[in-house]
């Protein structure tokens, strides 16, 4: 397999499949939150906190993943 498909997943301590699953989880969650925000724009009483709560939860997940990846590389910052 081409190195470009595995370089970043390996840099965060994951396989290609694991990384794809996590990325899709974030992506579909963001799509759902975006749709809720669009509905909220039309119907202000609907989904009043869905967008902001989703962003907070995703930020917490991402922060925990970064800490885990940093630990995987003995404290070196992981970029990507």
Q: Band of the pLDDT at 13, cuts 50, 70, 90?
A: confident
The mean pLDDT of 36-56, rounded to a whole number, is 97
For residue 26, what are the contacts with CB-CB under 8 A and spacing of at least 6?
Answer: 58, 61, 62
pLDDT over 90 (residue 29): yes
Integer Cα distance of 24 and 3 in angstroms: 21
pLDDT at res. 1:
52
Global pTM reads 0.75
């Amino acid at each position: 397999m081409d190195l470009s498909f595995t370089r970043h997943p390996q840099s965060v301590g994951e396989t290609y499949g694991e990384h794809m699953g996590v990325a899709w989880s974030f992506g579909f969650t963001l799509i759902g939150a975006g749709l809720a925000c669009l509905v909220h724009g039309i119907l202000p009483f609907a989904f009043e906190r869905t967008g902001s709560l989703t962003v907070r939860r995703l930020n917490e997940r991402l922060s925990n993943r970064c800490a885990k990846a940093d630990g995987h590389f003995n404290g070196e910052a992981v970029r990507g």
